[in-house]
Chains A and B, each alone.
Chain A
């Protein structure tokens, strides 16, 4: 079994390295240009935020509309700390601090509100996110509605690429851990989970906090990459942007989130040429995809190399190949 896992892990590593080298070559020979690199970075950042939201919405089944608030915390943490401490260590520290503050806020907010169900939770999280934004607008240190400019740039596409890969690996493995499985159990049937000794609140809060930390990291990366933050960047619409990636990909499918983040990123590039019509086309795409694929592009299935390459139809390792979720 261990040899099989090794083979499987190595194949993945090889594929990811190949993708990395491919992008490197494209940039070295200037085939995709600065605009292409920007697109890759933004895809990676959206991906990290969306994987975090999928943990909350897909895995734990809690409908959150407040992801933007947690991204804002990370973005401002990085903006403020790297301005004061303009070094790569300051930047890394700012990501950690942003994640920590965001996680603590999520903990404080999550414990009381995660008792709420469905749409009530959605509106409460939306409220929390807006409150975070309004506080940022009104604080002196965050420089109010104008935001902060001239943030030192530490983010390049290589860093975002590697971080995205790490985040995906951690989240996928977390989902398959005992805690991850408990989170899904709570989503599927909270009363049954409770009857088995699973502390439903603990696991809901765990997923919520993990999602908030990832959102903050995404926010921090974005602040440093675009070198500015403003409260306008983190409105309800930002939460919706991330939500759309999760739902279009398929709720609960990490592969779906990855695929959709990339598709939407590329679509954005194509639509640039359409000027004002861009959002109209985007809106139509949303409606049409939902009508024809109401469970998202990938539904609940996960892409599995093991199934694709190693599965001969006989015995297979259950965890990796059979990961169908609701």
Chain B
């Protein structure tokens, strides 16, 4: 029993990182209907920025985290400006291929310049294990979950309360109408990429600290998982992304706990497909019917 609770805790930790990534996916999807395949690689770059700030500049972990988020936000805006904005009125699949191009570029560019081997992430915070009964949880795990929750609350406040957040919601609801209401669509989309990329970077830095190593391809699998999480929760919906992320994290650790670790990804995908068959727009998604 305690093993199950322990796995649940681990699942929630892992899920927090998926959720941070899924939020970026879902916001970008909500606003320009793009599956941003480069998102996982922004997470990877975020981890590398964190590595740079801690290892090379010897900055405090939290300062490094914030700086890494800020730099990644700029990077996200740059990617959008160069690779997606020129394709604003092109077929969606063209933007998707452009996103794949960006993804390849970031992965292979990093391999080319910094080598494709794993790098040890500096132990900026010493790991302390806490024991509660037979359960154990580390300060790093607590840090991951509290950071994730803090960022989600901040995001909710931005989206719900600020002018920019209102603009984001307006553009994702109806781009044409938003233009007529005097909303600067390009700026809003840019801002969305900034926020999404910052969240991904936070996930990357936290995972680097948690697993102690980073490499140029570290974003591939979590990227796809986070996309699955976003779809599972209902793509385009911020609470859906958080829900999907945690669900997938828990599912993964639970299948491992019951001895099916070889099949953990298969279980995740199978559950995704089953949920989509019953709820074709994800758990929190609303079915829209086409007007005939």
Direct contact of A and B (CB under 8 A): yes
* A residues lining the B interface (CB < 8 Å): 57, 63, 112-113, 115-117, 119-120, 122-124, 126-128, 130-131, 134-135, 137-138, 191, 236, 240, 243-244, 247-248, 251, 276-277, 279-280, 282-287, 290-291, 294-296
Stretch from B10-18, B48-56, B263-271 contacting the other chain: B263-271
Q: B residues within 8 A CB of A248?
A: 97
Report Cα–Cα, A236/B101, bound state, in Å.
15
Given A286-B97, A291-B86: A135 in contact with B266 (beta carbons within 8 A): yes
**Which residue from chain A places its CB closest to the CB of B110 in the assembled complex?**
A280
Assess the A294–B108 pair: CB atoms within 8 A. no
Residue B95 lies at the interface, judged by CB distance under 8 Å to chain A: yes
Given A116-B280, A134-B263: A290 in contact with B35 (beta carbons within 8 A): no
Q: A residues within 8 A CB of B283?
A: none
Q: B residues within 8 A CB of A285?
A: 101
Q: A residues within 8 A CB of B101?
A: 283-287, 290
Report Cα–Cα, A122/B35, bound state, in Å.
10
Residue B123 lies at the interface, judged by CB distance under 8 Å to chain A: no
Assess the A283–B108 pair: CB atoms within 8 A. yes
Q: A residues within 8 A CB of B292?
A: 191
Assess the B108–A295 pair: CB atoms within 8 A. no
Q: A residues within 8 A CB of B108?
A: 276, 279-280, 283
Report Cα–Cα, A279/B107, bound state, in Å.
9
Chain B interface main SS type: helix
Contact of B112 among A112, A119, A236, A276 (CB under 8 A): A276
Q: A residues within 8 A CB of B90?
A: 290, 294-295
* B residues lining the A interface (CB < 8 Å): 29, 33, 35, 82-83, 86-87, 90-91, 93-98, 100-105, 107-109, 111-112, 224, 227-228, 231, 235, 262-263, 265-266, 269-270, 272-273, 276-277, 280-282, 290, 292
Most chain B beta-carbon contacts within 10 A, residue among A63, A138, A282, A290 = A290
Assess the A131–B269 pair: CB atoms within 8 A. yes
B147 to chain A, nearest CB (A): 27
Q: A119-B33, A287-B105, A295-B90 are in contact. List 5 more A-B contacts (CB 8 A).
A: A126-B224, A130-B266, A247-B93, A280-B105, A286-B97
Given A119-B35, A138-B262, A283-B102: A127 in contact with B270 (beta carbons within 8 A): yes
Assess the B91–A251 pair: CB atoms within 8 A. yes
Q: B residues within 8 A CB of A119?
A: 29, 33, 35, 231, 235
Report Cα–Cα, A128/B269, bound state, in Å.
7
Assess the A117–B112 pair: CB atoms within 8 A. no
Report Cα–Cα, A211/B280, bound state, in Å.
23
A162 to chain B, nearest CB (A): 31
Q: B residues within 8 A CB of A251?
A: 91, 93
